[in-house]
Amino acid sequence: MDEGVEPCRSGGYSYYRHNDKNRPDDQNPAKSTHRVQPTSHSDEEPTLNRICIIANPAARGVRARLESLERLTRNVVIKTTQGPGDAEAQTERAIDQGFETIVAAGGDGTINEVVNGIGHAPVALGILPMGTVNVFALELGIPFNLLAAWKVIRARKIRSIDLASANGHLFVQMAGVGLDAQIVERNSRRVKHVLGPLSYLLTATQVAAERPPRLRVLVENQPAREGSFVLVGNGRFYGGPFSLFNEADIQDGLLDVYVFKSMNYVALMRYFRGVLFGSLAKFSDVHYFKANHLVVKSDRHVPLEADGELAGHSPVEFSVRRRKLRVLVPA
Ligand SMILES: [Mg+2]
């Protein structure tokens, strides 16, 4: 007997057997669901049946930890993604199927896809930090230990955070127009794999040697600000444990914005020191301000990254909706 249970739109549950040919593909574990466990475990709360984990097996460490995840999360549906874009599509399907909590198991890229799949749906987002970069988990204080992170999800403490968007693409942590997006754009996956962070540094040196774009940053009722690259923060951290946006509040309905005037090698080194010493906002060639809506225009096509993923080109319209994303966080 191999039975499973999945929640329905109606709020009830649909029961099925693994050999049920009438069941839709979306609910067929052989096709899209990594595993669905029987419901006979009495030590799990029934609400856990409404949790769907979206795991990206391509993210570092995920495949190796899937087995421990399965042992830990009995009664919970785990869906593994097939490639770029699939985490977003699977999240949309899971919400259509009535799941009330969507858990992203992966790095910031996976979380960003899941967030875009959630959109403005009233579901909760859980995080199981895996993969290479986990800045969002760091921001929210979510433990990097799998068991501890799972306990956070089970404890069900919800924090409503601001949901930012760049040309309609949602993001939770940060975004950039210019320099950092150019670096992301030029680092092919293969090179990134071989050289790791070194390839980013090498590309940064290359980009810094070129003529920087001229960006105009427009905020209603304020004079235009000009610069070479722009970084936008919803949270405080950028690219790791660097509190770049040190005045950021993820619940205030405002984005923190840096506009950097220079982009040459010497200026970048100076900016980097400013980040380390927390003095960046005081630099005379750096603008730091808050806004709930801004537009970045340029004299040429400049790439945009959101949560570390390429998300189009300039012009970019940024906005933020206050406390629109419900995230499961530590008590
Ligand atoms: Mg804010």
Cα 240 to averaged position of ligand 1 atoms, centre (Å): 18
Cα 289 to averaged position of ligand 1 atoms, centre (Å): 11
Cα 64 to averaged position of ligand 1 atoms, centre (Å): 36
Cβ-in-10-Å burial (0-12, 13-18, 19+) of 269 comes to exposed
What is the spatial distance between Cα 171 and Cα 148, in angstroms, rounded to a whole number? 25
Contact 16, 27 (CB under 8 A): yes
Answer yes or no: is pLDDT of 42 > 50. Answer: no
Cα 235 to averaged position of ligand 1 atoms, centre (Å): 7
Residues in Cβ contact with 189 at an 8 Å cutoff, skipping those fewer than 6 apart = none
**Local confidence band at 261 (pLDDT 50, 70, 90 cut-offs):** very high
- 224-250 mean pLDDT: 94
- 54-73 mean pLDDT: 84
pLDDT of residue 110: 94
Pairing mode, if any, of strands 303-306 and 225-227? unpaired
Report residues near ion ligand 1: CB below 5 Å.
249, 252, 254
Cα 255 to averaged position of ligand 1 atoms, centre (Å): 5
pLDDT of residue 68: 84
- The yes/no answer on whether domain 3-156 falls in CATH 3.40.50.10330 is yes
Which of 72-76, 198-202, 295-299 has the lowest average pLDDT? 198-202
Cα 80 to averaged position of ligand 1 atoms, centre (Å): 32
Cα 253 to averaged position of ligand 1 atoms, centre (Å): 5
pLDDT of residue 63: 79
Q: Could you read off the pLDDT of 86-116 as tens digits, one per residue?
A: 999 999 999 999 999 999 999 999 999 999 9
Q: Where are the chain's structural domains?
A: 3-156, 170-321
Can you name the CATH fold of 170-321?
Tumour Suppressor Smad4 (2.60.200)
Cα 294 to averaged position of ligand 1 atoms, centre (Å): 14
pLDDT of residue 39: 39
Answer yes or no: is pLDDT of 46 > 50. Answer: no
**Local confidence band at 219 (pLDDT 50, 70, 90 cut-offs):** very high
Asked, colleague to colleague, whether 3-156 and 170-321 share their fold, the answer is no
Contact 36, 6 (CB under 8 A): yes
- 48-67 mean pLDDT: 83
Pairing mode, if any, of strands 51-55 and 3-7? unpaired
- Measured CA to CA in angstroms, residue 105 lies from 48, 79, 117 at distances of 16, 10, 14
Answer yes or no: is pLDDT of 189 > 80. Answer: no
Cα 35 to averaged position of ligand 1 atoms, centre (Å): 38
Cα 173 to averaged position of ligand 1 atoms, centre (Å): 10
Cα 5 to averaged position of ligand 1 atoms, centre (Å): 40
What is the spatial distance between Cα 225 and Cα 217, in angstroms, rounded to a whole number? 5
Answer yes or no: is pLDDT of 230 > 90. Answer: yes
Cα 299 to averaged position of ligand 1 atoms, centre (Å): 28
Cα 47 to averaged position of ligand 1 atoms, centre (Å): 32
Which of 71-80, 129-138, 195-204 has the lowest average pLDDT? 195-204
Cα 82 to averaged position of ligand 1 atoms, centre (Å): 33
Cα 56 to averaged position of ligand 1 atoms, centre (Å): 28
Cα 204 to averaged position of ligand 1 atoms, centre (Å): 28
Mean pLDDT of the chain: 84
Q: Could you read off the pLDDT of 135-150 as tens digits, one per residue?
A: 999 999 999 999 999 9
41 or 225, which is more confident: 225
Cα 254 to averaged position of ligand 1 atoms, centre (Å): 4
| Range 33-72 burial, b when 16+ CB lie within 10 A, else e | bbbbbebeeeebeeebbbbbbbbbbbbeebeebbeebbeb
Cα 217 to averaged position of ligand 1 atoms, centre (Å): 18
Cα 314 to averaged position of ligand 1 atoms, centre (Å): 22
pLDDT of residue 2: 33
Q: Could you read off the pLDDT of 161-185 as tens digits, one per residue?
A: 999 999 999 999 999 999 999 988 8
Answer yes or no: is pLDDT of 48 > 60. Answer: no
Cα 190 to averaged position of ligand 1 atoms, centre (Å): 35
Instruction: Provide, rounded to the nearest whole percent, the portion of the chain with pLDDT above 70.
Output: 82
Cα 130 to averaged position of ligand 1 atoms, centre (Å): 25
pTM of the model: 0.83
Cα 257 to averaged position of ligand 1 atoms, centre (Å): 10
